[in-house]
Structure 1
Amino acid sequence: MNKTVNINLANILFHIDEEAFIKLQHYLEAIRRSFSGTPGSDEIIADIEARIAELFQEKMENDRQVITMKEVEAVIAVMGQPEDYMVDEDIFEDVPRAEKTRPGRIKRLYRDTDNKYIGGVCAGLEYYLGIDKLWIRLLFLLLAVFTGFGFIAYILLWILVPEAKTTSQKLDMTGEPVNISNIERKVKEGFEDVSERVKNVDYEKVGTKVKNGTRSFFDSLGDLILFVFKVIGKFIGILLIIIGATALIGLFIGMFTVGIADIIHIPGVDFFDMLNSTVAPFWLVSLMIFLAFGIPFFFLLYLGLKILVNNLNSMGRVAKFSLLGLWLISLITLMVLGIQQASSHAFSSSSSTMEELFTMNSPDTLQIQMRSNELYDRNAQRMGIDRMKMIYDEAGDPLLYSDDVQFNLKVSEDSLFRIHVRKDADGNSVPDARSRAEAIQYSYEQKDGLLLLDDHLVTDPSNKVRDQEVTAVLYIPEGTVVRLDRSTQGHIGRGTRYDRDFYRNKMIGQHWQMKADGELQCLDCPEEELPAGKEDGENNRISIDNEGIDIKIKDETDSFELKINEEGVRMRTNEL
Structure 2
Amino acid sequence: MNKTVNINIGGLFFHIDEDAFQKLSRYFDAIKRSLSNSSGKEEIMKDIEMRVAELLTEKQKSDKHVINLKDVDEVIVVMGQPEDYRIDDDATEAKTDFNYTNRRKKLYRDKDNGLIGGVCTGLGHYFGIDAVWIKILFLILAFTSFGLLAYIILWIATPKAVTTSEKLEMTGEPVTISNIEKKVREEFDSVSNKIKNANYDEMGNQVKYGAERAANGLGDVIMRVFGAFAKVLGVFVLLFSSFALLGVLIASVILIFSSTLPANTILNNITTPIGLETPLWIQGVLFLIALGIPLFFLIILGLKILVTNLKSIGNIAKYSLLAIWIIAVGVLVSLGINEATQRAFEGKSVKKEVLNLLPNDTLHIKFVSNDFFSKNVSEYREFMFTQDSTKKEVIYSNQISFEIKSTDKPQAYLQIEKLADGKSFSEANQRAEKINYGFKMVGNQLILDNYLLTNIENKYRDQKVELYLYLPKGTLFVADETVQNYDESDNEFFNLHYSSDKYTYRVEETQVKCLDCPKDENEYNDVPNGIQTEDINVTEENDSVKTVSVKINGKEVINTKSGKKSKLTISPDGVVIKSE
1:256 to 227, 249, 253: 249
Q: Which residue, out of 418, 423, 428, partners 1:433? A: 428
Q: 2:482 aligned to 466, 487, 490, which one?
A: 487
What corresponds to 1:285 in structure 2?
283
Larger-gyration structure (1/2): 2
In structure 2, the residue matched to 1:474 is 469
Is 1:364 matched with 2:355? no
In 2: Cα distance, 1:367 partner to 1:342 partner? 42
Q: Relative to 1, partners in 2 of residues 1:193 and 1:250: Cα closer, same or farther, differing over 3 Å?
A: farther
Q: Displacement of 1:405 after TM fit?
A: 2.6
- Structure 2 CA distance for aligned equivalents of residues 343 and 257 of structure 1: 30
Select between 257-266 and 90-99 the one with higher mean Cα deviation: 90-99
Q: Distance in 1 between the 2:37 and 2:512 partners?
A: 117
The residue correspondences of 1:138-153 to structure 2 (distance < 5 A) are 140=133
Displacement after TM superposition at 1:444 (Å): 0.5
Structure 1, residues 193-219: CA drift from partner, whole Å, max 9, x if none?
Answer: 744553356679999999x99995456
Mapping 1:255-334, distance limit 5 Å:
255-262=248-255, 263=257, 264-265=260-261, 267-268=265-266, 270-272=268-270, 276-277=274-275, 279-303=277-301, 305-306=303-304, 311-334=309-332
Alignment partner, residue 446 of structure 2: 451
Q: Could you tell me which residue of structure 2 aligns to residue 405 of structure 1?
A: 401
Tell me the residue number matched to 1:43: none
Distance 1:95 1:318 in 2: 45
Helix, strand or coil for the counterpart of 1:489? helix
Separation in 1, partners of 2:510, 2:499: 19
Asked whether the 8 Å contact 1:277–1:344 carries over to 2, the reply is no
Seen in structure 2, the aligned counterparts of structure 1 residues 135 and 395 have a Cα distance that, compared at 3 Å, is farther
- Residue 422 (structure 1) shift: 0.7
CA–CA distance in structure 2, aligned partners of residues 345 and 195 of structure 1: 75
Query: Within the alignment, does 1:199 sit opposite 2:196 as a pair?
Result: no
Provide the residue aligned with 1:335 in structure 2.
333
Q: Partner amino acid for 1:258?
A: A
1:506 Cα offset (Å): 7.0
1:380 and 1:392 in contact (8 A); partners too: no
- Residues 212-254 of structure 1 show CA distances to partners (whole Å, capped at 9, x for unaligned) of 9999545644643553465356446534532442243223312
2:118 equivalent in structure 1:
none
In 2, distance between residues paired with 1:503 and 1:381? 17
Task: Give me the TM-score of the superposition, normalised by structure 1.
Answer: 0.51
Distance 2:210 2:462 in 1: 74
Matched-pair identity in %: 22
Unaligned runs of 5+ in 2: 1-34, 52-99, 101-109, 115-120, 142-163, 165-172, 529-580
Task: Report Cα offsets for 1:87-146 as digits up to 9, x if no partner.
Answer: 9545967997699979xxxxxxxxxxxx9xxxxxxxxx9997653434674973796899
For the structure 1 residues 348 and 127, does the alpha-carbon distance in structure 2 shift closer, same or farther, using more than 3 Å as the test?
same
Deviation at 1:466, TM superposition (A): 4.2
The verdict on how the C-alpha distance between 1:197 and 1:407 changes in structure 2, with shifts beyond 3 A counting, is: same
Q: Deviations over 1:162-202 (max 9, x none)?
A: xxxxxxxxxxxxxx9xxxxxxxxxxxx98987445533566
CA deviation after TM superposition for structure 1 residue 406, in Å: 0.7
Once the two structures are superposed, the pairs formed by residues 537-576 of structure 1 within 5 Å of their partners are none
Aligned equivalents of 1:321, 1:434: Cα separation in 2: 48
What is the letter of the counterpart of residue 451 of structure 1? L
| 2:562 equivalent in structure 1 | none
How far off is 1:413 after superposition? Answer: 2.5
Q: TM-score scaled to structure 2, two decimals?
A: 0.51
Output the aligned Cα RMSD. Answer: 5.3
Q: Is residue 425–residue 467 contact of structure 1 (8 Å, CA) maintained in 2?
A: yes
Helix, strand or coil at the partner of 2:372: helix
Report 1:144-223 matches (<5 A): 194-195=178-179, 198-199=182-183, 216-217=209-210, 220-221=213-214, 223=216
Instruction: From 340, 344, 348, give the equivalent of 1:346.
Output: 344
Q: Aligned letter for 1:368?
A: I
Q: Distance in 2 between matches of 1:235 and 1:344?
A: 52
* Structure 2 Cα separation of the partners of residues 488 and 257 of structure 1: 40
Paired residue type of 1:318: I
* Structure 1 match to 2:373: 376
Q: Confirm or deny: 8 A CA contact 1:400 1:460 kept in the other structure.
A: no
User: What amino acid sits opposite 1:131 in the alignment?
Assistant: G
* C-alpha distance in structure 2 between counterparts of 1:432 and 1:313, whole Å: 57
Q: How many residues align?
A: 382
